Each structure stands twice: as structure tokens, then as C-alpha cells.
Structure 1
Amino acid sequence: MPRARTPRTLLVIPVSLTLLAMVQGGLPGPAPVAARTPARTPAARTTRAALARLVTRGGAPAAALLADDGSGTRFADTGTGIGRSDHFRAGSVTKSFVATVVLQLAAEHRLSLSDPVDDHLPGLVRGAGNDGRDITVRSLLQHTSGLYDFTSTTGGTVPVTPLQALRIALAHPPSARGTFAYSNTNYVVLGMIIEHVTGHSYATEAERRIIIPLHLNGTSFPGARASLPEPHGRAYAADGSDVTELDPRVAGAAGELVSTLADLNRFYAALLGGRLLPPRRLREMLGTRAAHGSYGMGLFPVRLPCGTTVWGHNGRIAGSYVRSAATVDGRRVLTFRVNTGGVTDPTLEPALLAAEFCPRTS
């Protein structure tokens, strides 16, 4: 986890609430940057221009966004490479789904956030100073457990089982417990706890509790399936190589999800709108005190220059970067994505969020 105040996504930790710079060169040539959707308002034109810069300045092969302000949806893309209904890998956005399931189980009194991990996985978390008797479910959700991030060793490119990921983590001493340190291992362990409590995998529980009720027909947990559902575009690594085929076990419960722009907007609107959690549990999810304002439980806030705070998550995995953000009431939501692991200019993400959530009137 970086020393900055934002969380790391699946493969590499951002140093701020922006996209991490990545190596240029070798990517397919930039697509045309004029969005297909007409920009009928100054706000829409500003957002479209910010999206286009992900290609012209950020080095992404293609970019697209879907915004919903309650009165309707607005799609924009950079002209080619990404379709409105395309499926893509959502990386660490998976954490919002896993955290929602855990908080639902807490609301049902099937577990407590203050439970030690050992209550559910007895004796499993031991080694190099790590001790599951001293790590709580809450600390896993908030990234304050101290558990080492297994993807720092695997690079997020090696398929592993949950037990293998945990063993990698337990070969390393913990960071200071109680201090925010983003670690994909935390959510792998939460996936294991969900299975212990319910008798079903985290994927099955998320499908039953979230995907089916919200009719997220383009969202899935692919397990070991390396191909994407149709329709989908291509995904590219920093050197331009095609990485569309990928074993999702490089991420597991920390970043396995496949989704669409519309589905992610629907999910975050429902979550923040109070349709998935009781008010008390949603307030807990938005609590950032333990992480000193950086992270809640499967969500993190960003305060924009206009004073608006948006909530959501980002996701980075080979060939895909996605960012979902919404107002705290879920009434306005945006998801954008590029078909590579990031963009080269770290100012572009906050500029796009500000363009959408702090629109100019003229």
C-alpha cells in the first residue's frame, strides 16, 4: 500500500486518487477522440473532452463512460475499441461486492465485524507474526489487518488458490496492525470467511444477494474461465500485447469480477441508495476513521474541488482499468474504463470526475 491516502487496485498501488503512470510505447494507435454521443449541455461537453484526453494524453487505446444523473443515461466513447455493452474485467471493484455480502451477513447476525478471523478460520492465519486471533473481520474490510499483499509477490499475473495467496502473505511479517495498508489478501480472506459462514462461495452469495436481485445480467464471477463473455473488445498490456484472455484466479475475491458499464452504475446506485444494506450497515461501510479518511469498507471517498464527495472504487487488472464513482445518495453515478491497465497522465482521472460531478453551467 502506498503511503499516500488512496487504495491500491489489483496489480499496482496508485500513489494518489489518480491513475498510476505506466510505461508508454507499443500500444495500438489512438482511436479517434470525438465521442459518438452528442454533447447537448456544457457539462456533457466538458466530460466528453475529459474522456478524450485519456486517449490523447493518457495513451489508452480506447476509453468509454456511462453517466446517470437520475434523468437518464449518457454514453460517450472515443470512437472505436469499446462498445457500450462490452464485458470487461473490473478488478478491485470486486471488493465493493464482497464487502456488501459481508455487511449483509453482519446485518443477519451470522457474523460480527468484531469477530476475530480465528472464529471462522481457526488456526489458518498464523506465521511471521500474523495471528488470526488478533485480526478482526472489520480490519480486513478496512485494510487495517496488517496482512501482506500477496500480489506484491505474484504481480497479479500468477493464478493462485485462496490458500496459496494466504500462504504467500503469511511468509511476510505484518505491517503495523491498525494502520491503513491496502492489501488484496484481506479480501481473499473475506471470501474464505463468507464460504465458512454460508457454506457457499463468495461468488455464489454475491450472485444470489446482489447480481440476481439487481438484474446485473452482464456481471459474473468467472472462476477459472479465461475468456470474456460476448460482446467484448480487446484488452492490451502496456507493451501493446493482447491480454484479453486471462485466468481470473490471479485475483480471486480481490478482483475477479467481470461486468459492464451499465451494471456497475446500477450496482453503486443501489448500494448507496440503500437498497442492499440497512442504514446502520451502510453508515459503517462509509466510515473512514480507521483509515484516516482514505477508505471505508469496500468503498473509498474522493472530495472534488467543488466540495462534492463521491464514493466508489477503482479496479486495475491486466488489460483493464475501471473507475466507478457516485454521490453519497447514489442519485448520480459514473463509470469509465480504458482497455489497458491505466493511463500515463495521473491528472486525468480527477479531472474527469470533476468534469462530471462539478459541471459548469456555461
Structure 2
Amino acid sequence: MTVRTTMTAVTAVVLSAALAGPAAAASPGRGDGHEATRRALEAAVADGVPGVTATVKDGRRGWTATAGVGDLETGKPRSPHDRYRVASITKTFVATVMLQLEAEGKLSLDDTVEKWLPGVVRGNGHDGSRITLRQLLNHTSGIYDYLADPAFQQMYMAAEGFFEHRFDQKEPEHFIAIAMTHEPYFAPGTSWRYSNTNYALAGRVIEKATGNSYADEIRHRVIAPLHLTATSVPGTRVTLPRPSSRAYSKLARTATGPTYDVTELNPRLAFGSGDMISSSADLNRFYTALLRGRLLPPEQLKEMKTTVRARGTNRYGLGLVERKLSCGVEVWGHDGGIHGSNTDAVTTVDGRHALAFNFNGDWSGDSDAVIEAEFCGKGR
């Protein structure tokens, strides 16, 4: 999905066929009707992605497929059960908790950021007293995205800086303060621009409103009730739980040069904007439950699905993206990119048909083609 704001800002490149690994493998007897999706997964590997894992839920039927490798050194294939970093998909979980808190009367989305985080959003034209919680969640706040800061990019997204700083212990306030050194993109409510700073702030608001960590609130309110056994909010844990694959990046703005193993990092730098880990099956279960009203009352689900124009033809709600495909099918979900991991999860509005997949390389792979293939049968 085109709203992706990755931590690695790189473009496509073709890896040698030797690195591409084995062709796609589908679950026995469950691949009928997904030929186009399988070809799109294979094409992603041919275009340079080390490996991909995908899971589909279509009514009561399920389908899984993998392509390429999960480890470039050993050639070990990817697994349908892989745990991986889902990055900005975290935002849907955060928005869900915020809307639950609104339903319980613990906060209002029309509250200002200043009310909950006094003095935090201030400087160079930023003014938390003019920004609402709703504007954080739908990216109409105008707050500068700390990921765009040149010093941040050099420290965490370039090769030399990444390997020196990937285990840094920094609190969200450190990155929010970076954003405050820049001017806002626009006056609150006058436009739309994706900013990870919005959800670093949202995570802190959840903590102020509940007295608990935002991670505990997600575990209690979403992960446990839905039995998302592969989903976690890792805090400062630098490794991935098993089963998992290695994660790879070019750590450059170009897609040439060496490929680095970036599996281990401190996800705290992403906090509420993108630190979670999950699996394809869990993501399908989460978005299906969300859109079917299992997590939010009707009023709050309606709020979540009230969108503003984002990039291209996409529209952005509260941590939720609305997308109309070329064949007219409407899907809802989110995408996420972080070092070595690009993920998409989309579901039809009735929750019947869901797709989630992950590339374990962040410089290549056409996720749009995979989504179009599954829901529109492109290439069949």
C-alpha cells in the first residue's frame, strides 16, 4: 500500500537468481483459486526480495504460500508461521485501544494533545493545544515526522550509523523532541501527511489515560481476547521469537551495494508508531475481528472508518487505510516497513476475505501486485 513510510527509504533492485532460493510452496490441497497470488509472490522473489510468506483467509477456507528464502546463508525457506516485525501495522492496534478508551469515557478524540501531554508538542510552530487526538490518529496534525530528520536517518538508516546505534536505549520523548526542532508541515486539520511522531504521542496518551504501558493495554485489550499467540509488543527485546526468518536491508537510499542482516535491533525507537511483531495468520485474525465489530462498538468503528484523502486513491481513517482496487473491490488494513521487513495486511469490509504477507527484504517487492492478484485475480 502506498502509505508506507519505511525506516530504510530504498528502491527496487534485482538480486541474482542464486539468492532467490526455492519457488513458491503452497499448503497441500489449498492452493486452488490463488494461482495469480502465487505468481505475484514468485515475481517478488525474482525481482530481488529474499523471501516472502503469505496467508489468506477466504470465508472458512485458508491458504498459505511461501517463496524464496528466510536465510541467505543457509538457504532455509520461509515459513507460513514466521514471526516478523510489522512496523506501522502497530498503528491500527494503537488506534483500536484509543477508540476503546473513548467508548469507556476515559478520553475524547476531541481532547487536545496538550491536555494529556502538557508541554510536549511545542516549538517551531508546533502547538499541542491546537491538535486533537483524532488528528494524531488520522495524520492531519501537521506534526513533523521524526523519521524525516536528516540526523535520525544518518544514525539509524545508513549502514554505519545503524550498526553503531541499533541497540540504543531511547525513550519516545527523545524522538518527539527531534520532531519539535522542525516546523510543522501545515496547520492542524488543513491537510494530510503521514507522521510517525503522531503515534509516538498516541502511545504516550494511552499510558496517561490508563496508568499502564501502551504495550500492556494492547496485550490486555486485543492480543489476549483474540488469542493472537504469535503477536507481541517486544519493548526493548532485540531478537525475533521463533519461528522467524532473517531480515535484510541495503541500508542505503539506493538499492545497490551489499545486503546486510538487520534482524536484531531495539524496536523501542519505533514505540507506538511501529514496534510490534506478528504473523500473517494473526494479522488476518486481527483485521477480520476489527472490521466485524468484535473490538469496537459501532460508533467507534464508524469513527475509525471515517477517512480523509491520503496518497493516491487511498483514504486514511483512524489507523486504518481504505483502498479501492482496480477491479472495484474495497479493502481495509495497513502496511508497515522497518529495517529488513515490509508487511501488508488487508481485509474486505465484511471481514470475509483477508490477506497478510511479509517480505524479509526492504528494498524490493511489489506489494500492490500481490494484493491485486489475490482480490482481483490479476494475471489469471
TM-score (norm 2): 0.86
Query: Which of 160, 166, 178 is the matching residue for 2:176?
Result: 166
- Could you tell me whether the CA contact under 8 Å between 2:13 and 2:363 is conserved in 1? no
Aligned to 1:85: 81
* Equivalent runs, 1:1-362 vs 2, <5 Å: 6-11=2-7, 21-22=11-12, 29-38=19-28, 43-57=33-47, 59-78=48-67, 80-81=69-70, 82-153=78-149, 154-155=152-153, 157=157, 159=168, 160-177=170-187, 178=189, 179-238=191-250, 239-289=258-308, 291=310, 294-343=315-364, 348-359=366-377
Amino acid at match of 1:287: T
Q: Which residue number in structure 1 is paired with residue 162 of structure 2?
A: none
Identity of aligned residues (%): 45
Question: What displacement does 1:164 show?
Answer: 0.4
Cα 1:326–1:236 change in 2 (3 A) is same
Shift of 1:43: 2.8
Distance 2:18 2:5 in 1: 24
Contact 1:27 1:61 in 2 (8 A): no
Cα offset for 1:286? 1.1
The CA deviation at 1:221 is 0.8
In structure 2, relative to structure 1, the CA distance for the partners of 1:173 and 1:79 (3 Å cut) is: closer
Counterpart Cα distance in 2 of 1:214 and 1:221: 15
Normalised by the length of structure 1, the TM-score is 0.90
Write the letter of the residue equivalent to 2:11: A
Q: Deviations over 1:188-213 (max 9, x none)?
A: 00001000000011111000000000
Give the Cα separation in 2 of the matches to 1:163 and 1:35: 44
Displaced runs of 4+ in structure 1, greater than 4 A? Answer: 23-28, 38-42, 156-159, 290-293
Cα separation, 1, equivalents of 2:315 and 2:341: 23
Say if 1:360 and 1:183 are closer, same or farther in 2 by CA, change over 3 A: closer
Q: Deviations over 1:270-309 (max 9, x none)?
A: 0111100111111111111365853111111221111011
* More displaced 10-residue stretch of structure 1: 85-94 or 155-164: 155-164
Aligned residues of 2:24 and 2:41 also touching (Cα < 8 A): no
Q: Which runs of 5+ in 2 are unaligned?
A: 71-77, 158-164, 251-257
Choose 118-127 or 198-207, whichever is displaced more: 118-127
Say which SS state the counterpart of residue 205 (structure 1) adopts. Answer: helix
CA distance in 2, matches of 1:226, 1:206: 20
- Mark the CA change 1:152 to 1:60 in structure 2 (over 3 Å): closer, same or farther: same
Number of equivalent positions:
348
Q: Distance in 1 between matches of 2:239 and 2:102?
A: 34
The two structures, once aligned, show a CA RMSD in angstroms of 2.2
Decide whether aligned partners of structure 1 residues 342 and 97 sit closer, same or farther in structure 2, where only a CA change above 3 A counts.
Answer: farther
Deviates more, 1:262-271 or 1:284-293: 284-293
> Relative to structure 1, is the Cα distance of residues 54 and 291 closer, same or farther in structure 2, using a 3 angstrom cutoff?
closer
Cα distance in 2 for residues equivalent to 1:50 and 1:38: 19
Cα pair 1:64 1:338 within 8 Å, conserved? yes
